[in-house]
Structures are given as structure tokens and as C-alpha cells.
Amino acid sequence: MENADAHRRILELREELRYHNYRYHVLDAPVISDAEYDRLLAELKRLEEQYPQWVTPDSPTQVVGNGVLETTFAAITHPTPLYSLDNAFGPQDIADFETRAARALGLPGPFDYTLEYKIDGLSVNLFYQDGLLAWGATRGNGTVGEDVTPNLLGIAEIPRRVPLSGVFEVRGEIYLPIPAFLELNARLEEEGTPPFKNPRNAAAGSLRQKDPRVSAGRGLKGYFYGVGQGVNALGVRSQSELLDRLAELGFAVEPHRRRVTGAAEVEAAYQEMLARRRELPFEADGVTVKIDEFRLQRELGFTAKSPRWGIAYKFPAEEKTTRVLGVTFQVGRTGRVTPVAELEPVHIEGSTVSRVTLHNEGYIAELGLCVGDTVLVHKSGGVIPEVLRVLPEHRTGDEHAVVWPTHCPECQAELVLSGKVHLCPNPLCPAKAFESIRHYASRRAMDIQGLGEKLIEQLLATGLVKNVADLYKLRLEDIAKLERKAEKSAQNLLEQIEASKKRGLERLLFGLGLPQVGEALARTLARRFGHLDRVVAASVEELDAVEDVALTTATAVHEALHRPEMLELIEALRQAGVGFEAREKPKGNALAGLTFVLTGELARPREEVSRELEALGAKVSGSVSKKTSYVVAGPGAGSKLQKAQELGVPVLDEEGLQALLEEKVGVVDSR
């Protein structure tokens, strides 16, 4: 390449890589695959090695993450910097890595290595002061990270205390297990929110939530692999000893870690770990290879960006070209219509891919995808088949645009448009029936074991069951005939169906598949209202007043519960003997979901009133907001009373409180 061309290309690559860094590290929404990113970075690295005079300290080859920290969180400076890892893509890269280390150390090698799966999440630094977790931050640009302490506190696996004095910094990877990732994406898709591209982006997006409660609901986990300050106090001499010590201290460490000697053993172990990659409950994008002994690590040190004693041996990312044979439309449990590209089948990373979701109209437009197009396909984050891009150079002129249906492909009802989402409005649409029965019977809903997908399909096909209430009408001979099962297993299923009547309102509300009602919200509603009839009778305002319920959710739930078909279904369930009562009835939960603020002079000590209210399930708060249910004001009340009046929060005197208690507690007793 001519000098001037090379320089132009370097600048071009830097600009492109910076854009992708921003999409990936700041927005958690990359637009190219990691493999494509790695190729661009490798090209830049090669050019910079060829023309070292043009290396600048801010080049993406020299900086960690996005380089500059761009964030809405508070910034925290790491006491000791966090690094990235250099990549290796084959056995030669590992052999070269060992040779480089040997040369730098003036030792012949081979060396001992600790191998760990490289978990695809985001790295954090935990800072303990005298044994207590003081703060935790994302890696950021390696020097300064984002303070995400409240969100990290929601992760059960992070020890709050360690039996160590002084300063102790632990590095680890926060990740989202694959099942949690798939569930989260399914939920986001149902809500019409763009799903995350891969588990890594989902983990980053979940940890970097403004509301720690949202973060806590996502099921994040962590693996820990390094110590910054405080490492000397541990008395360990190697990475393998460090991992064992961290495990003793209560940190989760990568369970498949192993120790090998020399590049050839690294390769053999890597191949085994690659082969077992799909068995892992987390996404790994490679194997980290670290020279085990700390004495050697210290001697080797770091470049601006990464350690010289460690390298990430990446898993190959397969990308295949194939053709879009057609686009079909799938109807989800809530009636949402999703376009799916039907592909000429291709084998990618251990499985055949013949269908890939196209999410929505905007997504198709962004790809510029037509039926008949040749496309590049991969598994995003190693899990989800995804169209990377259209290859227009393969077009023949026979391609045609994707045409959206006007009617439901399952039941022919005319589709309605809700925001950007196409919906089938027919509550008895067979597409919804299958999903709604499967959901109703699922483990975390009514837990009807033995009611598998095949059986549901057969029950629907034969017309024995049209909705979940029909399950309770099934007879032994119906099931025995269908499944060609032994009578014993049919009997078991009937017992399961019978047992599901007593699962309680918590599970029933979840099982009904109401819009936006996940397990947590179902439990909250059950606790607050205690009986299905009371949930149905609740107004939008009453639903909205429940903690954690947004107005949009309240409206949607109310609407769904009042559709004639739903009311009919509820009646049928009642006839069948399904219990509508909440299970969790802690003694006196009559005030659950209500928030009180006490102000002014009360006849009884405030503490005592608080305790009484809390015993009945209420929350007592110190400040008035629009979520406050009641302000109890005695003489001399000031600013809180004023605030309540401004916000329209009901104000009670002590007598009013007593009346309220009688009313509410009375309701509970009459149950």
C-alpha cells in the first residue's frame, strides 16, 4: 500500500472502530458482529505495526473500551487500572504468545497456564474497605468507570463482606445466564421493546440501569478472576491459587478452570473447552490463557491496553451466506405478529439454521431485506441466529419486497396496529390458545407436569380443549386415547390438573398471561388484592396506585381483564373449582401495597403507629410523593401536609386512620 493510502485507511479504520465502540460500550447496541469488529481491529493493528510512526495514544488499538468515558452514572477512578485482553485466533497465535513471553523473561519455557472460559459479560471492579463492600464500578476506559454500586448490590453472588482488612479490589465479569437472556428478550419483544443482540449487551444494559430494582429483576450473575490492590495480603503465588482463594472468600469463580503446561497443552485444552461450549449455561466467547505464576506475570507487566502475560483465545465465529426463501408471519401468545425469514438451511456452530426472526417492519427496512436476497447469517452471541446483512451484489432482479399481511395468518381476523406492533385482536385465535395453554401449564405458572407441547397440540387439534378452562373438563379416557399413554400416566396428568386448582392467585394471575404481568407483578397484585374478583373489580386508578405498577400497565391489565372473553374464561375457571385466593397471606396483609407517611403530633408514639401499620403489610415512608397512599397528620403538621395537599394525596387524622384500619382489616377477616 502507498504511504498516503495506508494513512488514509488507518484514519478511516479508527473512525469506524470508534463508532462501533460507542455503539457497543455506551449504547449496548452494536450494529456489526464481534467477528467483524475484530477483523477491523486486526487490520488496524497490522497497519500500525507496519507504520509505527502513525500510532497515536488514542487509537482504538491502544485504549480500553470506548477510550473516553461517556456516561450518565457518577464516575469512579479505579485505584489500579483494569485492562483488556489481546486476542488469539489459532494455535500459531498461542505459540507466538509463548515465544514472546519466553524472550521477554529470558527463560526457555514452556510455562504453566491457567485457562478459564472467557465469559461474555462486562467487567467490574469491586472495592472492599476493611472487609465491607464500599463500591463497585464498571471497567469503563480502564482508569475511570461508572458507579453501579446499587445495581451490584442486587446480585446475590457478590459477597457484602470479606474477612480481610484494608483495601481489597476484586475484578470479575458480570453476565446474564443464557436462559435469563432468552427470557428477557422474549419479554422485551412482547412489550415491543427492541431485544438485546446478545447476552453480553443484555448484561451491560441490565447492570447499567438507572433503577436498581429493574436491574435486580434481570437475574445477573458474576464470575471473579482477579485482584487489584490487596493481592499481597492473600498470600497466593499464582492465578490458580488466587482463584481457589477467591472461591474460599465466597466469590464465584469459573468452574471449568484448569491448569496446563506449554502451548500444545493449551491447544488441546482449548479444543475440549470449545467442544463443550454449548453445554455452558453462560455465553463464553473464548478461553483466557494466563501465565500462572505471579512472579512471571509481574516481570512481564502490561502494554497500554492489555497484560503481556495473558491472552484471549477466541472461539471461531461462523458466518454463512444463504438465501431468504420467504418471509412468514408468526403470531405470539399476546397476538403480536412477528416476521420470520425462512432460509435455505445452513449449518452454523453446531446446529442447522433455517429460520431467523426479523422482529418488525423497522428492522426489515434497516436491513433492506427482500425475499430472494442472499444474506450473511451468524449466531449472535453464539446463541441467536441473526441476519447480519444483505449481500446486494448477489441480486438477480427477481427479489421482491416483504409484504405484510392484513389478516392474522392463524385465524384470519383483521390485524390491528398498536404503536409499531401488528396484533391479532381475536382472543380465541388458535395461535394464542396454544401459547396461552402452554404458559398456563408452565412450571412457574400453574405447574401442570405432563402437559407437554405435543399433547397441547393434540388437545387443540381434536377440539377437546379450546382454552385453559377446558383442561379441567378432561376425562381419563380422552387423554389415554390421545397420548397412547399408559392409563397410569394419564391418571398422573389428571392429578396434576386437579392439583393446579390450588396453586393460588399469585400463579393464576401470572398464568393468565395478562399483558406485562410477569411473576413478580402477579405476586404483588395477589398480595395487594387477595382475590381474583378483587383484582377484576379494581379500577385503573387502584391498580396504578399499587407499587411498581405504571399507568400504562394498569390500563393494559384492566382492559385485558374486562374483555368479554376473559370474563367468560374467569367464570369457567370458577365453575371448574380453580382457587381465586392468594396463597401468601401473611397474618394481616390488609394494608399491603399501601404507603403511609406520618407527620405532626400523634396521640400515640409514631414508632408504635408505624409498627402497627407495617405489621399489616403497609410501608411507612418519610417523604410524600404521588405514590403515597395516605398521609396521617396530627396537630402541628407542616411541609409534609402541604405537599400531600399539593399532590392530592388523601390526608387522615388519627380517627380517620382508625376508621380505615377497621374497614381494611374487616375486609380481611370476612374472607
Q: How far is the CB of 10 from ligand NAD (least distance, A)?
A: 18
Positions 154 through 173 that interact with ligand NAD (CB under 6 A): 173
Of the ranges 27-35, 44-52, 450-458, 486-494, which one interacts with ligand NAD (CB under 6 A)?
Answer: 27-35
35 annotated binding-site participant: yes
Distances (CA, A) of 194 to 189, 206, 342, 403: 6, 14, 21, 21
Q: Residue 377's closest CA among 398, 352, 359? A: 352
- Describe the strand order of the beta sheet including 112-119 as a list of residue ranges: 86-88, 310-314, 284-291, 112-119, 258-261
Picked from Zn ion, ligand NAD, none, the partner binding residue 429 (CB below 5 to 8 A depending on kind) is Zn ion
x-marked contacts with Zn ion along 428-467 as a string, rule CB under 5 A:
-x--------------------------------------
User: Of the candidates 209, 224, 213, 242, which has an alpha carbon nearest to the alpha carbon of residue 157?
Assistant: 224
Q: Which does 20 bind (CB under 5 to 8 A by kind): ligand NAD, Zn ion, none?
A: ligand NAD
Q: How far is the CB of 471 from Zn ion (least distance, A)?
A: 21
340 binds Zn ion (CB under 5 A): no
Q: Which residues pair with 313 in a beta bridge?
A: 88, 287
Q: Does 423 bind Zn ion (CB under 5 A)?
A: no
Q: If binding is defined by CB under 5 A, does position 293 make contact with Zn ion?
A: no
Please check if 370 is assigned to a binding site.
Answer: no
In degrees and rounded to multiples of 5, residue 114 shows phi and psi of -105, 130
Q: Which of residues 390-409 bind Zn ion (CB under 5 A)?
A: 408
> Integer distance in angstroms from the first to the last C-alpha of the chain?
84
Interface positions, 238-277, toward ligand NAD (CB under 6 A): 254
- Shortest separation between residue 66's beta carbon and ligand NAD, angstroms: 8
As a residue count, the chain comes to: 671
Minimum distance, C-beta of residue 178 to ligand NAD, in the bound complex (Å): 15
Distance CA 297, CA 113 (A): 11
Among 123, 125, 138, 380, binds ligand NAD (CB under 6 A): 123
Q: Grid coordinates representing 345?
A: 438451511
Q: Which of residues 240 and 334 has its CB atom nearest to Zn ion in the complex?
A: 334
How many positions of this chain bind Zn ion (CB under 5 A)?
Answer: 7
CB of 382 to ligand NAD, least distance (A): 12
Asked if residue 37 belongs to a known ligand binding site, the reply is yes
Q: Which is nearer to ligand NAD, 119 or 468 (CB)?
A: 119
Does 114 bind ligand NAD (CB under 6 A)? Our answer is no
b/e 287-298 (16+ beta carbons within 10 angstroms → b): bbbbbbbbebbe
Record the cell numbers describing residue 114, joined without a space: 491457567
Q: Please choose, from the candidates 377, 316, 309, 306, the residue with its C-alpha nearest in 3D space to the C-alpha of residue 344.
A: 377
Express the helix, strand and coil content of the chain in percent, nearest 5 each.
40, 20, 35
62 binds ligand NAD (CB under 6 A): no
Q: Is 421 in the site for Zn ion (CB under 5 A)?
A: no
| Whether residue 118 lies in the annotated active site | yes
Instruction: Tell me the C-alpha distance between 108 and 113, whole Å.
Output: 15
DSSP 64-98: STTSS---SSPEEE-SS-----EEE-SHHHHHHHH
Q: What is the DSSP letter of 406?
A: S
21 is an interface residue for ligand NAD by CB under 6 A: yes
Burial class (CB in 10 A: 0-12, 13-18, 19+), 490: buried
Does 410 bind Zn ion (CB under 5 A)? Our answer is yes
Contact between 25 and 59 under an 8 Å Cβ cutoff? The reply is no
Applying CB under 6 A, does 38 fall inside the site for ligand NAD? yes
Cβ proximity to ligand NAD: between 81 and 452 the closer is: 81
Please return the burial class of 522, using the count of CB atoms within 10 Å of its CB with bins 0-12, 13-18 and 19+. Answer: buried
Residue whose CB is less far from ligand NAD, 79 or 518? 79
The residue among 227 and 632 lying less far from ligand NAD, judged by its C-beta, is: 227
* Residue 411 site contact among ligand NAD, Zn ion, none (CB < 5 to 8 Å, cut-off depends on kind): Zn ion
Pairing of strands 351-357, 337-348: antiparallel
Exactly one of 411, 540, 572, 661 binds Zn ion (CB under 5 A); which one?
411
Asked if residue 424 binds Zn ion (CB under 5 A), the reply is yes
Beta-carbon contacts of 450 under 8 Å, excluding residues fewer than 6 positions away, are: 489, 492, 493, 496
> Per rule CB under 5 A, is residue 637 in the interface with Zn ion?
no
Q: How far is CA 141 from CA 15, 58, 81, 304, 646, in A?
A: 17, 11, 9, 11, 45
As measured in angstroms, the least distance from the Cβ of 359 to Zn ion is 19
Binding to ligand NAD in span 171-200, by CB under 6 A: 173
How many residues sit in the footprint of ligand NAD (CB under 6 A)?
A: 24
**Residue with nearest beta carbon to ligand NAD:** 123
CB of 331 to ligand NAD, least distance (A): 32
Contact between 542 and 534 under an 8 Å Cβ cutoff? The reply is: no
Active-site residue (options: 118, 379, 640, 664): 118
Give the CA count within 13 Å in the CB-facing half-sphere of 382.
23
Does 436 contact ligand NAD by CB under 6 A? no
Instruction: Give the residue with the Cβ less far from ligand NAD, 56 or 639.
Output: 56
Per DSSP, the chain holds a count of helices (H) and strands (E) of 24, 24
Taking the complex as a whole, the smallest distance from the CB of residue 15 to ligand NAD amounts, in Å, to: 14
Does residue 20 touch ligand NAD according to CB under 6 A? yes
Strand 400-401 relative to strand 351-357, pairing: unpaired
What mask of x and - would describe binding to ligand NAD in positions 212 to 241, judged by CB under 6 A?
A: -------------x----------------
Answer for the pair 358, 370: CB distance below 8 angstroms, yes or no.
no
Residue with cell 431467523: 356
For Zn ion, the closer of residues 408 and 618 by Cβ is: 408
Q: Is residue 254 involved in binding Zn ion (CB under 5 A)? A: no
> Closest approach of Cβ 379 to ligand NAD, in Å?
14
> Given the C-alpha cell 403497609, which residue does it identify?
618
| Site membership for ligand NAD, residue 116 (CB under 6 A) | yes
Separation between Cα atoms, residue 56 and residue 552, nearest integer Å: 50
Interaction site with Zn ion (CB under 5 A): 408, 410-411, 413, 424, 426, 429
Q: Which residues does the annotation place in the binding site for NAD(+)?
A: 34-38, 84-85, 116, 139, 173, 290, 314
Interaction site with ligand NAD (CB under 6 A): 20-21, 23-24, 30, 32-34, 37-38, 64, 84-85, 116, 118-119, 123, 139, 173, 225, 254, 285, 288, 312
Active site residues: 118
Q: Which residues does the annotation place in the binding site?
A: 34-38, 84-85, 116, 139, 173, 290, 314, 408, 411, 424, 429
Q: Which residues does the annotation place in the binding site for Zn(2+)?
A: 408, 411, 424, 429
